[in-house]
Chains A and B, each alone.
Chain A
Amino acid sequence: MKLKEIAEKLELERLTPVFDKDVTGVYISDMVSDVIANAKAGNLLVTVQVHANALAAANLVDICGIILAQGKKPADDVIKMAAKAEISIFSTALTRWQVATKLYEAGLR
């Protein structure tokens, strides 16, 4: 499934351009170390972590995009950093659990 399709289905707010990558799965975590150790390339990261280091970890493991739950939004420099690294960032008022449910309903496993 493509990132753009997911963004449309979940009505996500786009904070960066959408880099239309394939989504291989979902990883939910707020811990940088956990993302580095366990997330897989192509995963969509669901988090409330807006620190630049979350983006740094996502880039290191080749996360395809980040959904910030509970209306979280990172600082402008993090958004610029993400756009440069071609990692799409979205924001939604939904909780992480609600995002997970909707991603499952959308067909992601």
Chain B
Amino acid sequence: MESMVEAVPQPRYELADVQPGYVIIEREMYTKAARSYFSAEPVPPKEPYREGSQVWAFWEMAQSFRFSVRDNQTAKVVKFDEVLGLLYYACCDRDSDLYRIGELAHESNISIYVAVAYEAPDGSRLDIAIEKLAILNRAFNERLRSKGKKILILPDYFGLYKKLSYGQIMLDFGLTAMEERADSPAKEGAQ
């Protein structure tokens, strides 16, 4: 019988500088806008603070990690500090464009993910350069063993960050909460 897996050669790319930490989600007290950032502190800050006329307060956190990708041929290391997390197409609304595209791609054995970036302090969305996403795609595809399987990580061309809940992104909310949470922080109203 033909094997469903194939041998993996020595990878050119590998995850490097994996730094465990937390995705901290904070909320503005008056407008209820939400934003997130990564903290590597053992005990993440939870005190409210003022930023101009706004007051930001801790809302929720999820265990996560920050990472780089090392190119073993060139020794070049590319940081991915702006990546909040990845979203699998199948975790999206079935009526969404991403879900429909994901289903089409699945027919060709391609699994679609979208890289969601952190917000900048002013509320704008950080940019993940397409060249960096190409490296990330190579790194994840190199690890695969299943024959014909491909991963395609796309930029958030879908504007998903405007309507996603943080719980849809691959993050570890509440280690004791192993079931799907209906109350995971929604990003609606995010700046």
Q: Which of B8, B111, B172 contacts A59 (CB 8 A)?
A: B111
Give the complex CA separation of A55 and B113 in angstroms.
13
Q: Is B101 part of the contact surface with A, judged by Cβ < 8 Å? A: no
Assuming the contacts A33-B172, A85-B111, asked whether A22 and B91 have C-beta atoms less than 8 A apart, the reply is no
Q: How many residues of B contact A (CB 8 A)?
A: 35
Give the complex CA separation of A40 and B14 in angstroms.
12
Contact A56 B88 (CB under 8 A): yes
Mostly helix, strand, loop or mixed at chain A's interface? loop
Contact A31 B175 (CB under 8 A): yes
Q: Is B120 part of the contact surface with A, judged by Cβ < 8 Å? A: no
Interface string of A7-25 (1 = CB under 8 A from B): 0000000000001111010
Give the complex CA separation of A80 and B91 in angstroms.
12
Stretch with Cβ within 8 A of B (4 or more), from A43-51, A91-99, A101-109: A43-51
Closest-CB distance, A97 to chain B (whole angstroms): 17
- Contacts from B to A (Cβ < 8 Å): 3-5, 8, 15, 18, 20, 63-65, 67, 86-88, 90-91, 106, 111, 113, 140, 143-146, 149, 151, 168-172, 175, 178-180
